[in-house]
Amino acid sequence: MFFYTLDILGTIAFAISGVLTALNKKLDPFGIFIIAFVTAVGGGTLRDILIGRTPVGWMLDLNYVYVILGSVIFAVVFRRKLGYLRTSLFLFDTIGLGVFTLIGIEKGIDAGLHPVISIALGAMTASFGGVIRDILCNEIPVVFRKEIYATACIVGGVVFFVLSALPLDENVIYIATAVAVIVIRLLAVRYHLSLPSFYKK
């Protein structure tokens, strides 16, 4: 139930992130829903296909579809209350990043995969919905630029397995992992931290 709740919260966060991006691109209502949908479930769908978990999660549980639809309506109706689009988009995207990293890692563990592969699945789950969103909106995905994005997911995955080796309550490990990803991403943006670039400015 704890993981299901986290999954729903991550879905809401990424769906709202997708809505804000779509609104910024002035898409029509159908376009807004599609962008919100692929942002929310794109990474998880790719993960499930890779580990042979089909039909994929959202096809077996319509609550995800209802949650995304509700998030779309909420974000559109209260778009002015969400503040500046750029700030809101970043906030919801970051929350989704932390939650879905954890979800992806757990799915990898459940499938009996090596920790390194589980971390990769966590990063994929968290970041590839945003990749699909950005491609459809004609943007270069953040994960392919020098910003610390997927790197935060990878570090969060390492934190998860390090803490798992300690005698800690699993809920503490889950929360610490998600918070680690969120904090790393926030600090990277706040202090303009980035990966090295091969290109001259």
In what helix (H) or strand (E) does residue 144 lie, and over which residues does it extend? none
Asked if 130 and 150 touch (Cβ cutoff 8 Å), the reply is: no
| pTM score, whole prediction | 0.86
Q: Per-10-residue mean pLDDT for the chain, 201 residues long? A: 80 89 93 96 95 93 96 89 67 85 93 96 93 92 79 94 93 91 90 75 55
Distance in angstroms (rounded) separating the CA atoms of residues 107 and 97: 16
Residue type at 150 in one-letter notation:
A
Question: How confident is the model at residue 66, as a pLDDT?
Answer: 96
Q: What secondary structure letter does DSSP report for 138?
A: T
| DSSP assignments along 9-66, one per residue | HHHHHHHHHHHHHHHHTT--HHHHHHHHHHHHHHHHHHHHHHTT--S-HHHH-THHHH
Question: How confident is the model at residue 51, as a pLDDT?
Answer: 95
